[in-house]
Amino acid sequence: MGTPFITFLEPSKLEGYMSKAARENQPSAIPKAFLDAMEVREQVFVEEQGVAAENEFDSDDSRSCHWVVYASVNKTEELEIRDESGAVIRPRKSSTRSVPVGTIRLVPFPHDPHPVDGGEYWDGKLKGEEDKVTGPTGPQKPYITDRPTKYHDGKEPYVKLGRLAVVKEFRGHRLAGLLVKTVLSWLKANPAFFNPSIKEIGLENMGAFNERDIPIWKGLVCVHAQEQVQGLWAKWGFQLDDGMGTWMEEGMPHVGMFQRLEVNSDQIRI
Ligand SMILES: CC(C)(COP(=O)(O)OP(=O)(O)OC[C@H]1O[C@@H](n2cnc3c(N)ncnc32)[C@H](O)[C@@H]1OP(=O)(O)O)[C@@H](O)C(=O)NCCC(=O)NCCS
C-alpha cells in the first residue's frame, strides 16, 4: 500500500441520494467524496456487519463533515506473455489507482436526545416508538435540554464522531487512527465551524433569548462506540460515559464516550 491520503468533504446537499442504487445511477450533483465514503460504509456496515442497506444513509449525512482515506492499489491490467523458449514477448502491464478504504463523519450539534439505556434502535428510531414525533420536524433539528450524563450536563453543545470504517483488507495499518486524529486536529483548528449563525437560524431557533445563551462549541466530542471497539476509542482519548448506559443500534451493543479538546472558541457567528 502506498502512502494514504485523506479527502475532506464539508456539509453538502445530498438531494436525491438513493440508498442501494449503484454509484453511476446517483444524481450527478452528489460529491464524489461522499460516494466514496458510502462505498466504504456499505462494504463494512452493510455487507460485513449486516446493517440494512436502507438504514446506512441518514438525515445527518448532509449536515456532517466527512473524511475519506484512499490507498494506492496496484492492479495488473495485462498478464505477461512468454514464448515457447520462455522469453518475455509482452511484459506485464499494471496500473496504480487510488481506492477509498476508510471513512469517518463528524455530526454537528444539535442532536437527538441521548439513547435510552437498554433501548433498541433501528434506523435511528427507538423500537416501540417508531411513530412518535419527538419534536418539530424540518431541516433544522431543535436545540433541546437532554438528560445529564457523566460527561455531558445535558445542555452543552457537543459534536459527534461516527461511521468510522476501514475496509477489511486494509485494517491494521493505523488508518482508523489516522482518520480520528485528522478529525480531532481539524476540530482544534476550526472550533467555530459549527457554531450557528444568528442571521441564518435566528435566536429563537437556538433556544436563546440573548447573545449569552447562544450555543457555542467548547471542545466536547462524543462518540457512540460499538462496544467491541470501546478500547480502540479509549486509545484515542475517549472516556466511557457510564451514565449513558448501553443500547442497541442496528442489532449491535453501543456505549457513549466523550473527550474534551482544548479549544479557543468564543466566537459568535452573526
Ligand atoms: C474499527 C476499525 C475502524 C479499525 O480500523 P483499523 O484501521 O484497523 O484500526 P487501526 O489500525 O488504526 O487500529 C488502531 C489500534 O486499535 C487496535 N484495534 C484494531 N481493531 C480493534 C478492535 N476491534 N478492538 C480493539 N482494538 C482494535 C489496533 O491493534 C491498533 O492498536 P495499536 O495502535 O496499538 O497498533 C475497523 O476494524 C473496522 O472498520 N471495523 C468494523 C466497523 C467498526 O467496528 N467501526 C467502529 C464503529 S464505532
pTM (two decimals): 0.90
Give domain status of residue 231, yes or no.
yes
Q: Per-residue pLDDT for 2 more than 80?
A: no
- 204 or 6: which carries more pLDDT confidence? 6
Q: What is the pLDDT of residues 5-26, one digit of tens each?
A: 999 999 999 999 999 899 999 9
- Grid coordinates in use for 197? 449563525
Q: What is the pLDDT of residues 43-67, one digit of tens each?
A: 999 999 999 999 999 999 999 999 9
pLDDT band at 139; cut points 50, 70, 90: low
Best probe residue, ligand 1, of 69, 163, 166, 249 (max atoms within 8 Å of C-beta): 166
* CA 68 – ligand 1 centroid, Å: 16
- Cβ-contact 220, 267 below 8 angstroms: no
**Mean confidence (pLDDT) of the chain:** 92
Number of domains in the chain: 1
Looking up cell 457537543, which residue turns up? 158
Give domain status of residue 198, yes or no.
yes
The range of the structural domain enclosing residue 247 comes to 5-77+92-260
Contacts of 262 (CB under 8 A, 6+ apart): 188, 219
* CA 43 – ligand 1 centroid, Å: 16
Provide the strand spans (E) within the chain: 5-9, 65-78, 81-82, 88-90, 93-107, 120-122, 125-126, 159-166, 220-226, 239-240, 246-249, 252-260
* CA 174 – ligand 1 centroid, Å: 8
| CB atoms closer than 10 angstroms to residue 65 | 21
Give domain status of residue 217, yes or no.
yes
Provide the strand spans (E) within 60-169: 65-78, 81-82, 88-90, 93-107, 120-122, 125-126, 159-166
Question: Which residue owns the Cα nearest ligand 1 atom 12?
Answer: 174
Look at residue 268 in the predicted model and tell me its pLDDT. Answer: 63
Going by the DSSP 8-state scheme, the letter that residue 24 receives in this structure is: G
Q: Confirm or reject: Cβ of 226 under 6 Å from ligand 1.
A: yes
Question: Which residue owns the Cα nearest ligand 1 atom 26?
Answer: 232
Give domain status of residue 266, yes or no.
no
Burial class of residue 186 in the structure, from the number of CB atoms within 10 Å of its CB (0-12 exposed, 13-18 middle, 19+ buried): middle
Contacts of 128 (CB under 8 A, 6+ apart): none
- Tell me how far apart the alpha carbons of residues 80 and 95 are, in angstroms, rounded to a whole number: 14
Look at residue 203 in the predicted model and tell me its pLDDT. Answer: 78
* CA 178 – ligand 1 centroid, Å: 11
pLDDT band at 133; cut points 50, 70, 90: low
As a residue count, the chain comes to 270
Q: Per-residue pLDDT for 263 more than 60?
A: yes
Nearest CA to 26 among 35, 36, 37, 39? Answer: 35
Give domain status of residue 131, yes or no.
yes
Q: Confirm or reject: Cβ of 27 under 6 Å from ligand 1.
A: no
- Using alpha carbons only, give the angle 178, 45, 231 rounded to the nearest 5 degrees: 50
The CATH number of residue 193's host domain is 3.40.630.30
Q: Per-residue pLDDT for 270 more than 70?
A: no
- 97 or 255: which carries more pLDDT confidence? 255
Give domain status of residue 86, yes or no.
no
